[in-house]
Chain A
């Protein structure tokens, strides 16, 4: 049975905000749709420790918080961009929930505490656009909107940092939801994760303009 959840309110974000943060687009919405597909599964497992890397507008963190119940789980929302942390805070308020924005690069200060298999849900809509390495390092350095898409070789440079850590991060029922495009070679990601002893499955796929988007679910157990 499928569960239908409302899309979070984001009307408080303005054109000025979108000068500095990524405006929710098809890749954001496919992540929400993936969570909706798994909504019953996620609720049954009662996740308590949820993390989103690169929360941007805060739309996915808000959606996840509403899915699990706003007082039933901790959602930590990380972004390297201060404007994004502020936007995430505002989006939480506009939707009457509590999020916990943290300004940092990837898992940084959380790594030590979370790597003892503590994460129940990890969301990552990474900078997945293939670019040259210079564009990637420049945009990460600037900590502004460009960091939301420039992904280096195969668009996988940032994503790989997290995938390499994943076996230490996920709890026994832990799941990561990762947005990818065709150029990221999702089939290779699936094989690589399986080689690490994790289960990786494409749970939704669709074309949006020039991009062939999908969401991979990476978990310890099969569903």
Chain B
């Protein structure tokens, strides 16, 4: 499955596509919520790896409005729980991820994102 924690690490990698290539925009998604054991210590340690505004925009595009616009400097337990839910429990099983720069579509099927490119699209 593609959870939002994974989606936050994926950028379009078509040759010469460097503008608006992240984050990829979800469409036609089948979203499944699966409860996951909470490890708020992990969530907190993972913060430096996240692109916050990409995460907030993506969560909102999937109907979750719980994350604040700016990353909090001091986290409350409730805020960390909301972040845990967004990162670890929202699973996109089917759908598309589209590059806002070049329009390339990366399909997700059976929970596996297909990020392969055709030979002529590969940069290096």
Contacts and interface: CB of A to CB of B under 8 A. Distances in A.
Nearest to B97: A109
B76 interface: no
Given A48-B49, A74-B6, A113 B113 contact: no
Interface stretch (A97-105, A179-187, A207-215): A97-105
Q: Which residue of B11, B21, B117 has the most chain A CB atoms within 10 A of its CB atom?
A: B11
Contact of A71 (B9, B37, B122): B37
A109 B37 contact: no
Contact of A74 (B5, B37, B116): B5
Contacts, number: 83
Contacts of B82: none
Given A82-B112, A111-B13, A48 B45 contact: yes
A188 interface: no
Interface residues on A, range: 20 to 34
Contacts of B85: none
A73 interface: yes
A80 B45 contact: no
Given A72-B39, A74-B5, A113-B51, A103 B113 contact: yes
Contacts of A72: 39, 41-42
Nearest to A113: B9
B12 interface: yes
Given A72-B42, A110-B11, A113-B9, 19 more contacts: A46-B45, A49-B46, A49-B49, A69-B39, A72-B39, A74-B5, A76-B9, A82-B114, A98-B36, A100-B1, A103-B114, A108-B116, A108-B117, A109-B11, A110-B9, A111-B11, A113-B11, A114-B9, A143-B116
Interface of B: 1-3, 5-6, 8-13, 21-22, 36-39, 41-42, 45-46, 49, 51, 106, 110-117, 122
24 contacts: A48-B45, A48-B49, A71-B36, A72-B41, A74-B5, A76-B6, A82-B112, A86-B112, A89-B111, A100-B3, A101-B112, A102-B6, A103-B114, A103-B115, A108-B13, A108-B115, A108-B116, A109-B115, A112-B13, A112-B22, A113-B8, A113-B9, A113-B51, A143-B116
Interface of A: 46, 48-49, 69-74, 76, 80, 82, 85-86, 89, 98, 100-105, 108-114, 118, 143
